[in-house]
Amino acid sequence: MASADLRDELTCSICLNIYTDPVTLPCGHSFCRTCIGDVLDTQEGSGAYKCPECRAESQERPALANARKLRNIAENIRSTHPEQQEAGIPCTYCIQSPVPAAKTCLHCEASLCENHLRVHSKSAEHVLTEPTTSLENRKCSVHKEILKYYCCEDATCICVSCSLAGEHRGHQVETLNEASEKKKVKLRNILQKLTSQREEAEKRVQSLEELRRQVQGKAAGVTERVTALIRDIRKQLEALEKRVLSEISRQEEQVSLRVSDLIRQLEIKKEELSRKMGDIEKLCDMTDPVTILQGRESDREDYCDTEENTQRHDIKVHDVGDLDVGLISVTLHSGLAGIVTGITKRRRVPEASDMLLDVNTASDMLLGINTAGRYVSVSGDLKTVSGSRINQRRPETPERFQDYPQVLSSRSFSSGRHYWEVEVSESGEWIVGMTYPSIERRGGQSVIGNNSKSWGLWKLNNKIYYMLHDSKSIRLPHSSSCHRLGIFLDYEAGRLSFYELCDPIRHLHTFTAAFTEPLHAGFWVFWGNSWVRI
């Protein structure tokens, strides 16, 4: 097992055989000298040389360092594990034990190891090539001579006889080396174009993957907001249903009580009328005139209800009442209107009324830690900034605010309409605004609103608001009344508006300007208990 692991460590990743004359690139990866040389040759003219293993790039052709210890270990493995030697072309003359060939002689049609190569003929007709078993494609099929030239007109390799007396006589010919070098140049140009096309395709793939991630993230956010909105509407509708049904039940019970009371009164009256009717019927059944005439009770005025009393009883019946459908309708419609108003308030500001589902863009905005001053603390999620009495000892960079506790958002806006919300501390002092990236990072001109490159809403300890721009401050008539703000930016229209998200929503101020640079959200927080959260 250990031997196999060692063999793996000694295997060239290009030819997949044990290293032959290993060399090492500056990045630390090793290859056979011939293998890496061929790879670097193909990369020549592409603009950069890359390691086949780690893809480390260099503009200059990397220097190849001899790996002597690696070569010694590889040779030792070959000698001690002959059965594991890489498959290769054996020497034609080493009969007792196969020895890898170093070259093949096209004239002799034989492959030679290093030892036999030393005693081989050095004459010009003995052309040597890399070890190969395919000798037929190295010789002319017509004259059986070694191929030495390339016919440019017929695009084929030819021998001397083909050039002088054969069918290629008089054609433009080149040596094989010249022709192969020209072809290499063309191949490198093609390789360079293919490399550029592949890199462009890779960039497009990355862009599409990023777009897909953005769409997936946005879809998840929109789904969550829609679900929450519908769930909230459903709860409000259920509460409204209970309220309306309760009103209907109340009215039903009220009418029922009135009807019951009137029925009781009428039942008493029915008994009284029945008694009177009985008395009168007795008189009518008598035959004695004197008795009938002496029955004076029937002559009393109150014996029968007057027309006025009858009308009075009729009015009572009509005045019992019915369900107040108008009140029920008002309760229902006012409740529905309240729900609609609540949904409308989710849009926060009039300008953002067309962005109900995308109103909360704060999830896309993070604080740029590289701009944070030394006396501000930034949360791990890059959403909250708070004042700090302790020096955070951040490295000094050109983007960082040096003298004031400020930080900018990493995201900027250079077009379009955008809306986001922030939570702010009720106590302490803070500034919320927007600024160009070219704002000063040192001195008094670096404070948000104290220059022509930034606009801010400043809240003091006494809850007084000031609007800041170009070193000028405007006191607002409103005092701070809630801890949530909405900021709306219409870049093309040059409008930056601030709102207090209380009930009802209150417009604080709108700056107007012709914006000339991208705008970053900016935050200034005084040390102590001041904080702002996106």
For 62-84, the DSSP string reads PPPEE-HHHHHHHHHHHHH-GGG
pLDDT digits (tens, 9 = 90+) for 450-483: 999 999 999 998 899 999 999 999 999 988 888 9
> Residue 102 pLDDT > 70, yes or no?
yes
Q: 206-215, 221-230, 294-303 — which one is most confidently predicted on average?
A: 206-215
Residue type, position 27, single letter? C
d(CA 338, CA 357) in angstroms, rounded, equals: 20
Model confidence at 201, in pLDDT bands (50, 70, 90)?
A: very high
Segments making up each domain of the chain, as ranges: 2-84, 103-138, 212-318, 362-533
- pLDDT for 357 equals 43
Sign of CA dihedral 440, 442, 448, 450: negative
- pLDDT for 354 equals 43
The better pLDDT of the pair 43, 520 is held by: 520
Buried b / exposed e over 460-490, threshold 16 CB at 10 Å, is eeeeebbbbbeeeeeebeeebeeeebbbbbb
Q: What residues contact residue 39 under an 8 Å CB cut-off, 6+ apart?
A: 14, 31, 52
pLDDT digits (tens, 9 = 90+) for 141-187: 888 888 889 999 999 999 999 999 888 988 999 999 899 999 999 99
Homologous superfamily in CATH for domain 362-533: SPRY domain (2.60.120.920)
Q: Which of 61-65, 217-221, 336-340 has the lowest mean pLDDT?
A: 336-340
pTM for the full model?
Answer: 0.39
Model confidence at 218, in pLDDT bands (50, 70, 90)?
A: confident
Q: Which of 354-358, 482-486, 488-492 has the lowest mean pLDDT?
A: 354-358
Average pLDDT, the chain: 86
Helix/strand/coil for 404: coil
> Residue 138 pLDDT > 70, yes or no?
yes
Secondary-structure class of domain 2-84 per CATH: alpha beta
The better pLDDT of the pair 212, 46 is held by: 212
